[in-house]
A = this chain, B = another copy of it.
Amino acid sequence: MPKVSARAYSRYSLEAITLLGSLIRAARKERKMTAQELADRAGISRGLLQRIEKGDPKCELGATMEVATLVGVKLFDAEATSLTKHILQTEAKLALLPKSVRKKVKVADDDF
C-alpha cells in the first residue's frame, strides 16, 4: 500500500516541533522521570511519548501539550489563570473583526 500523499510541513513547523520534543525529553530527565512514568501520568502509551519526544508531527496536539505541561514546558509561559485572561482578550478582539472574510471578486489578488 504505497503512501499516496504525505503532508507537507514548513521548515519552521518541523523545527518547532523538534525543539518542543527535545525540551520535553530534557525536562523529563532533569526531573528524573522514566518514560513509562511520564507516559502513565499523561495517560498515553510509552510509544506515543517516544514519538512526541522525537518530534513526530503526527501526534495529538492534546497529548503533546499534556506531556509538556507535566514536565513544566509551557508553550505560553503563563499560568492557567493568565491564559484565561489572554483567551478572553483574544475573543474580544475577534468580536471586533468581521464575522466572515469576504473576497473581492473581480480585482486581482493583492497578495503580491
Contact = CB atoms under 8 A, between A and B. Distances in A.
Interface in A22-36: 22-23, 25-26, 28-30, 32-35
Given A43-B7, A61-B64, A94 B26 contact: yes
Contact of A94 (B22, B60, B61): B22
B62 A17 contact: yes
Nearest to A59: B61
B12 A80 contact: yes
A1 interface: no
Contacts of A3: none
A86 to B, nearest CB: 6
Contacts of A4: none
Contacts of A32: 101
A89 B20 CA distance: 13
A97 interface: yes
Across the A-B interface, the 5 shortest Cβ-Cβ residue pairs? A57-B62, A15-B83, A22-B90, A13-B65, A29-B97
